[in-house]
Structure 1
């Protein structure tokens, strides 16, 4: 009879795979003092001081499900702009009120600016034990130590394998912590831009990616970044903080963009998701590891599922994730729906590994710690410890 130790040993062998892709979600930046989506939504709301924009923002939120966050609001505004643009009146309804494309666009640009400001400088909401912390231009509070520790733990044990391995990164986060940590570790980053503090966009060309050295890591930022901006001529550049030029934060390229910017929706985002698709299609066995990602982005989930379903696909998934309440009375928890569905799939379920706070799942098997206790590897810092020591508790 197999035990959790057997499952961990199997997991560790898989983590020695030469081709690895690491998908980081919002939870990976939480300890760095960058808020999760719901606190980010409330902070954006607090920063919109213009009465008309604030009123419109709240009216839109009232139309959306209670579980919606700031990205859902942006998507909805984009849809409203599309409706207004197509209509004869050039207006769209929110509730019983009518708004022009200019009013909707003004709110969209305001929200993008506020998100960019919050993510650049950091924000930590108050809690039962800690006071609110607000980062500003002259006093940023974002910390990088957690990402540096993760990068060190990930690569320190791979020195003998690195010459023939490939480690790439995907993230849904807007912050620059991952690329900054890689650079501070003297590793090069290919993010789709030319090198330098200011870079121009040329995308994730597959022929170029295949020439990257093991010390250069592809980084696919699926939802854009706080340092991606639209220049005056409409081109996409990676800019610097604190300059007079490239300083309009409403031009920050953060997904989802307003539907008005058709070309922007095609590039970079179509290019980014195309690159994500390609990395899961490589012919050799490879592993996709997730951390800080709660599987709440159906677009990303669908991309992974579509690739898993292709005959001959060789993707192994390792999800480091916290279980969620099952909605029933008591304290029972469950895995996110996508993971539960994937691990029970007869075609590829045996290639799905889930390291949760409650147990280790290998396909349909479940291994509980003995004695029962919380496993720490689901969090970003806990995963770093596991990579460094092999200990999950």
Structure 2
């Protein structure tokens, strides 16, 4: 009996039943589609009976035409959520790459006098981390749990000896170091390209809201590059000190001493919320104040581990999260665009799930070159199932750089059907 070969169809775009794009035998290079053999439901002959070659370029052209139409509408409330994938285009590391960098940190290489020592393996065995997956978040959680319940023991590998608490801090410092990304050149800076486009909204429209889970300063650098103002929750005095009330401030222009009846809002202003902190945030121990410091002694960041959900209930993270939820609840044409977010954070997923289920004026767009991979999170797979049923959800296989380059001007959209969604966390 001959085994039946399963056809390898891959979604490039989903937006309801009638707006899907699938390709067969697809190949990707760094998230970009480079070759296919066929486009599903696309003619192979033109009106003059000439052959139409199904290529990756043609598939990308069709895909971008569909999502340009989706975004070519003036949504009243435009919200972006940026995950790790948005930084990887310009030098940021994935969680797997951070695992590999941590492994190198504790490796003693082979010499003429001594054998190679895998210190990272010894550390994992000491805290009973027996999982096969390279999950740095799970390992850090295991280290914290081991310290809490079994004590802060010392670990030896080769000539080295360190306490678990020291190792945890070393890994935190490594993450901070690897998340310090230099400003890319302007011609290869997707954050700048996207900001230039979305900040052209009418002055009467609500301010664009950017929420990011990344620690880097790429959105701040992009704002500088396009001469924009980011209202980030910090004071306009020095030292710049955090208070949630600053998110309620805006910038208006007043000509001379004559006050106009209507506010004259300054262009190129947006709100920036860093949900997991930043490499240049610091908490002053004596006062508890949170300030911006280019060289903090200890950066205020929510590091990847299970306790990050507890951290999110502390300031300033609680303020950021509350505003994320509030923006998704606005029932008057709200669009959330998720870029490079893997849907692995339970508290973020819960807010998005509530908006999808309770807010009929809410729409969701997901930009992720790997949304149709088997390795995608359970929550992302659930959203994919629902995106096939409703035009309220758009999913696009696209890198951040290509998305920024092809993001269009904006128009209005029509109402569509409501669906109920239950996200399943991994």
2:367 match? 320
2: distance between equivalents of 1:258 and 1:11?
36
1:75 aligns with 2:141: yes
Structure 1 or 2: more helix by fraction: 1
2:335/2:363 contact within 8 Å kept: yes
User: What does residue range 1-393 of structure 1 map to in structure 2 within 5 Å?
Assistant: 7-8=66-67, 10-14=69-73, 16-48=74-106, 57-59=123-125, 63=129, 65-81=131-147, 83-84=148-149, 91=151, 103-120=163-180, 122=181, 143=184, 145=186, 148-156=189-197, 159=200, 161-195=202-236, 198-203=239-244, 207-208=248-249, 215-233=268-286, 234-241=288-295, 246=296, 248-249=297-298, 251-256=299-304, 266-310=314-358, 312-323=359-370, 327=374, 337-342=378-383, 344-345=385-386, 349-356=390-397, 378-387=398-407
| Greater C-alpha radius of gyration | 2
TM value normalised by structure 2: 0.63
Deviation at 1:319, TM superposition (A): 0.7
1: distance between equivalents of 2:82 and 2:399?
11
1:290/1:320 contact within 8 Å kept: yes
Deviation at 1:188, TM superposition (A): 1.2
2: distance between equivalents of 1:339 and 1:109?
32
Q: For residues 59 and 45 of structure 1, do their structure 2 counterparts lie closer, same or farther at Cα, with a shift above 3 Å needed? A: same
1: distance between equivalents of 2:311 and 2:346?
23
1: distance between equivalents of 2:304 and 2:326?
22
2: distance between equivalents of 1:31 and 1:12?
22
Unaligned ranges ≥5, structure 2: 1-16, 22-61, 109-116, 156-161, 253-264, 411-426
2:257 match? none
Q: Secondary structure in 1 aligned to 2:391?
A: helix
Unaligned ranges ≥5, structure 1: 85-89, 96-101, 123-140, 328-333, 357-377
1: distance between equivalents of 2:188 and 2:234?
22
Aligned-residue CA RMSD (Å): 4.2
Q: For residues 167 and 324 of structure 1, do their structure 2 counterparts lie closer, same or farther at Cα, with a shift above 3 Å needed? A: closer
> How many pairs are equivalent?
324
Task: Return the structure number with greater relative CO, CA threshold 8 A, min gap 6.
Answer: 2
Q: For residues 383 and 196 of structure 1, do their structure 2 counterparts lie closer, same or farther at Cα, with a shift above 3 Å needed? A: farther
1: distance between equivalents of 2:354 and 2:221?
31
Q: For residues 43 and 198 of structure 1, do their structure 2 counterparts lie closer, same or farther at Cα, with a shift above 3 Å needed? A: farther
TM value normalised by structure 1: 0.67
